[in-house]
Amino acid sequence: MKYIKRLLNRIRGEQDLNKLIERGLKLGNNLTRMSGCIIDPSHCWHIEIGDNVVMAPRAHILAHDASTGLFNGYTKIANVKIGNNVFIGAGAIVLMGVTVGDNVIIGAGSIVIKDIPDNSVAAGNPAKVICSLDDYLKKEALEMTEENTFDEEFTLRNKNFNTEHASKMIEACRKYRKAYVK
Ligand SMILES: CC(C)(COP(=O)(O)OP(=O)(O)OC[C@H]1O[C@@H](n2cnc3c(N)ncnc32)[C@H](O)[C@@H]1OP(=O)(O)O)[C@@H](O)C(=O)NCCC(=O)NCCS
Peptide bond into 41 cis (omega under 30): no
120 lines ligand 1 (CB under 6 A): no
Task: Find the catalytic residue in 43, 46, 64, 165.
Answer: 64
For 149, list phi and psi in degrees, rounded to 5.
Answer: -120, 125
110 lines ligand 1 (CB under 6 A): yes
93 lines ligand 1 (CB under 6 A): no
130 lines ligand 1 (CB under 6 A): yes
Minimum-distance ligand 1 atom for the alpha carbon of 59: 44
User: Does 165 participate in catalysis according to the annotation?
Assistant: no
CA 73/CA 76 separation, integer angstroms = 10
Query: Would you state the pLDDT for residue 158?
Result: 97
Minimum-distance ligand 1 atom for the alpha carbon of 124: 25
Query: Going edge to edge, which strands form the sheet with 26-27?
Result: 26-27, 47-49, 80-82, 99-100
Minimum-distance ligand 1 atom for the alpha carbon of 34: 48
Are residues 182 and 151 in contact, defined by beta-carbon separation less than 8 angstroms? Answer: yes
Find the 107 Cα to ligand 1 centroid distance in Å.
Answer: 6
One pLDDT digit (tens) per residue for the chain, 182 residues: 777 877 787 788 889 999 999 999 999 999 999 999 999 999 999 999 999 999 999 999 999 999 999 999 999 999 999 999 999 999 999 999 999 999 999 999 999 999 999 999 999 999 999 999 999 999 999 999 999 999 999 999 999 999 999 999 999 999 999 999 99
Q: Which long-range contacts (CB under 8 A, 24 or more apart) does 132-140 make?
A: 133/103, 133/104, 133/105, 136/105, 140/180
Q: What is the pTM of this model?
A: 0.94
Find the 96 Cα to ligand 1 centroid distance in Å.
Answer: 23
Find the 126 Cα to ligand 1 centroid distance in Å.
Answer: 13
Find the 128 Cα to ligand 1 centroid distance in Å.
Answer: 11
